[in-house]
Structure 1
């Protein structure tokens, strides 16, 4: 806490909560691990307190994100530099955010918010700006101290941030395609890259990889599945450990209105994942598509005119200017003209979505019309029952790209796949998807004819937004045993009650499931059948936590016996690059490996993961192929009786062995010696492994400078919540800790706990909060004085 904040605390101690001389007033109490409990009497004051607390821990992160969504990175950091969390150059992201966040769009978004949500946005802006004033630019953390890019913000900046989150799973994945779109004969800002398998957003594998990278697991257990007959929830979102998509723990209270605790993304003055007195919930990145692409035939005389319902329509031209710092340090304006249709911005992906003299493509991002996210989470935070919670989601349809799993204290378990999805029915899919794009549509990616209004997304009068499905028409399931999701479609939320028959843009059924889905269902089914070797047939909190962090590698369990069979043959194999490799060491480590990624596991996992990524999509590799009638147990086993398949596996293992050798890892190393999270001079060992390998505790890491693997995404805010006669009982960990400031005592404290699998009991009631050994409290406020109107 800054000196300024402490002075404010002393000055305001005698003020009453409803003092009319104060525009905003919030009480911020801190407990162990720096978790803020923020209490206020109104929405604006609550958000004021959230912004203050968040800035105390992550002001540089927030300032960086405001710079990004305002399209100002090239001005301060140069056009070719990239962010820590992205490989896209600043010039591309600047133009993209200027395209989606133009003045007209931001103003429309602001006007669409209700008065209480506008008050929250205004309060957050005031809290952030006051923090900068009271702290002083010279006293900020080193990462942004006296940074020219750190500035006060206004309501428009907050709206831009919300729109950035909304677009994350839609146009936010098309940045090069949007910024690189230019008519034939005109040079694009930056040439779009040619398509590469899994590397562009019109490849279904791209979205599979994205859900694995920023996906999640969640389990909601009903009264028939828990040891005390009440609801129990597990939430394990897998999000980046860097950047604005980091979660932040907090507890929000407006007496008589809401009392919710959990975690939120930066800039969100609401709990995104958490619990209140009556229920608990989590989210998983869902499988629905949130955009459509439209193939528009062009006027032969002008590639910037398209034919719609038989009539030529001129594309909208918009010239956007950004400031760009040159190599000489001088900032100069740079302008480009971009084109859009009635559906949205033009896009180009060479070889797949080309802008030719006869055809062009535009993206329709349904979430660009979603201005209801704050309203949605407000309704969820304040829900007094599961029915009220569900009704809020159905009514608002404000969740941009996440499923919801929830339980209540009475023991009902709920799954809802209700998000913003373009209204494309199966009939419209059949009629409007051009033949070359039908295989994509079958996997949930839609290119529609843009020549006729009949092929535009349809309208449902009961939906809160034109062109999307109404909430009540989307998948949901309520059970007394369980529902679960690990980023697959709604189909197998519970295998005893499949959710099938929805339009492909919403949910695809009868398809192979992720390893995490299969592992989760298998563990739940065995627990409830009493066949997992543990006592009883119901779940305890400890067992649910064990399920979350068992670190089993599901696909290793499916194929390792066959790999070891091959290991008993010829130990010499040829890698993909032609190198001859002795497999003796690799096979020895795999034979000794316990098929988990716990800290004390040996490095057999390194050999396995390199092997698996090379064979996972090889046709004919499975001994038992996928069977829609047995989706939890298939595919399985390697087809090693087939000479070609066996040689493919041996070659993959040889190539993986070369990768491990290049890393320079000791053959005696443990997994905890290899995968780490660096905090200053300390390298904290991190358990877990790739979600694509079927690890429930999904952790993604990249090679570090010292030959180790540095964690960059994965399990983030992990919580279990149960209920008893005393209310919610929550245990949680924020895997990367609360603060991004190396000088903070909360920079690594929870990371240490996560490394040790030491869950942290969350103080929720006022008595629990005040009894916490690290309890402290302060009051922050702003006087009710006239301020310049800086609204959109």
Structure 2
């Protein structure tokens, strides 16, 4: 008996040893078996970083590439954790860092063949663009070299310029809805007829990581003819997640090669993506033209060929291994990805579906953004736009010469008439397969309208300049798939601009921070549905209904009904924006009332008690809400019942050029320049943000005198 027990213990010990060895092997295989980049070409970078009193980096370099090097280093000082995740994403290793959500992004990167696009096109980029990308990579490598203990993923660094470029290729199509199409197909869901929009709710297959890319932003441009003092004004009011891979980072850059720019960028970008230089500026808002087509393939019985123009072509397939962090080890998870002549293919329970989308398989968006940064006139800026690398998003422009413009930018497919392009397309016909985008002169635009102003708030481009000055739908082919959606923000912007024939800077600020719903928006029908509810048998809900009936349609934080209205308007906005049927009014009223009674014991707590800006020890009241110009559309309900905002008004910038063409700008972020809890700039802008205040952008280097926190060379 003793011998038997001894043998059992030996067997158990051997099994335990094997288990330990397996865990060690699984923890080591991932970094050993991954691609390692050669460091960028060796070079010396002449760069100086100056931090102003808000911690915003001002990068000074002899060459443009010096500036890119310094920008990467400064950003890593403030948010290396996010930058590491972005670089892991470009290598297909995000799952090894963040688990299943990251692995979903890695799957998409492989499906879209991002690395193949970069490997094919990188050397075709202009030399100055490649130098910029390599310098940015070198700046991140330098930071890791000096702070090796911060890197969490073994073998990720050094990175190279190709890794930086891959981030642009992967993220670009997700701003016009590719994520929703992919997720619907992965989940075996039917595609809806409206421009391929899926039946499901919020996407989670997104290169932004855990925080999804939500479609939002406001933009205003005012010409001298409409401004009270003859100035030209531009307001950039992007709505992005407040943290993560698509959160804004503010910077000012100066190069002796003529690159002077103030604005904001995403982690992994070697240049600002919006803002201004001395003579011009622009901002972006997400648009939603129909830029994605889905094809149903006809497969043979074996499922390895598809019919195309009467011939059976091989369905390309490739086995990939996703790397998924499961705690003690990184596990390999096999997946097969497919491709046809159309593009990426997803095979699900309903068949094989090929996807074709605007801007696929190209890197031109990188050169386009850099050329926009360095443009000095409207003509030069339009020349950069004509590169046609950015596949979507509106561009709202203004300059020192008094020009204002809206470009409904998109790489519109050159489609043939005769197909229902907004529905599922036949995958067996070449005449249903477009191969080119329309030229830049076909892109809808509105330049210097007589009204003297332009707005966009993720609404149709046919509502941008006020009555009598709008683009006409009849002037554009329906094959472009131009959106016709109205947002409350768009309607409200037009109402406020039309009510003011001479707009001062202060009046433009009041418009931007407006918290009202237009009575012409979907809010009207939604509130009528709530008012029509028969609630005679439920006194508690009847009280909530009466409170909403007396609401003043604003979320400024002064009315008794504001908190209740905040909670009931969010689901209505969500459904409206996603082109879905309205939610059940009784159910939403019931949920909102129950939440307020549970946590406050009443239906009418102050809005600021419910809606909060929270970071570390900072906990401040907010106004605004979903689809108002003071945007706070997404939040997390925390244990104490408060709504912690995570997405909405993010980087705000007011730019003006006076009559003499001199530029001045002010900006604000919800938190601060740094994502490090120990930094004094972790949340130092938050008190100003909640009070609708702006800080000066110290764009001219002379303005830094007396405002420098520190100065150094990396």
Output the TM-score relative to the length of structure 1: 0.76
Q: Secondary structure at the match of 1:33?
A: coil
Q: 2:482 aligns with which of 494, 499, 508?
A: 508
Partner of 1:345: 344
- Give matches, 1:146-165, under 5 Å: 148=154, 151-165=157-171
- Partner deviation per Cα, 1:120-154 (whole Å, 9 max, x = no partner): 110011100101111231xx4xxx6x564864322
Q: Secondary structure at the match of 1:289?
A: coil
Q: In 1, distance between residues paired with 2:193 and 2:697?
A: 40
Q: In 2, distance between residues paired with 1:484 and 1:615?
A: 20
Partner of 1:114: 126
Partner of 1:135: 147
- Partner deviation per Cα, 1:446-495 (whole Å, 9 max, x = no partner): 5433222222114xxxxxxxx21211111011125112111123222224
Q: 1:560 to 1:485 in 2, by over 3 A?
A: closer
Q: In 2, distance between residues paired with 1:451 and 1:154?
A: 40
Q: Secondary structure at the match of 2:359?
A: helix
2:358–2:412 contact (8 Å) kept in structure 1: yes
Partner of 1:539: 503
Q: In 1, distance between residues paired with 2:637 and 2:202?
A: 23
Q: In 2, distance between residues paired with 1:312 and 1:409?
A: 59
1:46–1:254 contact (8 Å) kept in structure 2: yes
Partner of 1:711: 645
Q: Secondary structure at the match of 1:261?
A: strand
Query: Is 1:448 equivalent to 2:460 in the alignment?
Result: no
Q: 1:583 to 1:333 in 2, by over 3 A?
A: closer
- Give matches, 1:388-467, under 5 Å: 388-394=380-386, 396-424=387-415, 428=416, 430-433=417-420, 441=421, 445=422, 447-458=424-435, 467=436
2:66–2:135 contact (8 Å) kept in structure 1: yes
Partner of 2:312: 312
Q: In 1, distance between residues paired with 2:404 and 2:486?
A: 22
How far apart are 1:310 and its partner, in Å?
1.3
Partner of 1:586: 544
Q: In 2, distance between residues paired with 1:502 and 1:254?
A: 41
- Partner deviation per Cα, 1:581-604 (whole Å, 9 max, x = no partner): 524542564366443223444453
Partner of 1:679: 615
How far apart are 1:648 and its partner, in Å?
7.8
Partner of 2:332: 333
Partner of 1:621: none
How far apart are 1:371 and its partner, in Å?
0.7
Partner of 1:188: none
Partner of 1:462: none
**Deviation larger for 120-129 or 98-107:** 98-107
How far apart are 1:761 and its partner, in Å?
1.5
- Partner deviation per Cα, 1:757-781 (whole Å, 9 max, x = no partner): 1111111112112242x4432223x
- Give matches, 1:636-785, under 5 Å: 653-654=589-590, 656-664=592-600, 666-691=602-627, 694-724=628-658, 725=660, 727-772=662-707, 774-780=708-714
How far apart are 1:212 and its partner, in Å?
9.8
Q: In 1, distance between residues paired with 2:172 and 2:530?
A: 48
1:197–1:205 contact (8 Å) kept in structure 2: no
**Deviation larger for 101-110 or 111-120:** 101-110
How far apart are 1:112 and its partner, in Å?
3.4
2:562–2:604 contact (8 Å) kept in structure 1: no
- Give matches, 1:216-615, under 5 Å: 216-299=217-300, 301-325=301-325, 329-347=328-346, 354-355=350-351, 360-394=352-386, 396-424=387-415, 428=416, 430-433=417-420, 441=421, 445=422, 447-458=424-435, 467-480=436-449, 481-495=452-466, 496-500=469-473, 501-504=475-478, 506-508=480-482, 511-528=484-501, 538-554=502-518, 572-573=535-536, 580-583=538-541, 585-587=543-545, 589-590=547-548, 593-607=551-565, 609-610=567-568, 613=571
2:248–2:266 contact (8 Å) kept in structure 1: yes
Partner of 1:13: none
Q: In 2, distance between residues paired with 1:682 and 1:612?
A: 25
How far apart are 1:663 and its partner, in Å?
4.8
- Partner deviation per Cα, 1:211-230 (whole Å, 9 max, x = no partner): 99331111111121112223
How far apart are 1:518 and its partner, in Å?
0.6
Q: 1:227 to 1:507 in 2, by over 3 A?
A: farther
Q: In 2, distance between residues paired with 1:242 and 1:53?
A: 17
Gaps of 5+ in 2: 1-41, 207-211, 577-581
Q: In 2, distance between residues paired with 1:736 and 1:290?
A: 34
Output the TM-score relative to the length of structure 2: 0.83
Q: 1:175 to 1:613 in 2, by over 3 A?
A: closer
Q: Secondary structure at the match of 1:732?
A: strand
**Deviation larger for 609-618 or 651-660:** 609-618
2:599–2:640 contact (8 Å) kept in structure 1: no
Q: 1:114 to 1:564 in 2, by over 3 A?
A: closer
Q: 1:131 to 1:570 in 2, by over 3 A?
A: closer
Q: 1:55 aligns with which of 44, 53, 76?
A: 76
Residues matched between the structures, number: 655
1:593–1:605 contact (8 Å) kept in structure 2: no
Q: In 1, distance between residues paired with 2:587 and 2:430?
A: 52
- Partner deviation per Cα, 1:25-44 (whole Å, 9 max, x = no partner): 21211113111111212232
- Partner deviation per Cα, 1:556-583 (whole Å, 9 max, x = no partner): 988679969987x999446xxxxx3524
Q: 1:712 to 1:470 in 2, by over 3 A?
A: same
Q: Secondary structure at the match of 1:364?
A: strand
Gaps of 5+ in 1: 1-20, 81-88, 181-191, 434-440, 459-466, 529-537, 575-579, 619-644, 781-792
Q: 1:695 to 1:613 in 2, by over 3 A?
A: farther
Q: In 2, distance between residues paired with 1:564 and 1:321?
A: 52
Q: In 1, distance between residues paired with 2:684 and 2:181?
A: 37
How far apart are 1:539 and its partner, in Å?
0.9
How far apart are 1:116 and its partner, in Å?
0.8
Q: 1:551 to 1:378 in 2, by over 3 A?
A: same
Q: In 2, distance between residues paired with 1:492 and 1:76?
A: 44
Q: In 1, distance between residues paired with 2:533 and 2:325?
A: 59
Query: Is 1:67 equivalent to 2:2 in the alignment?
Result: no
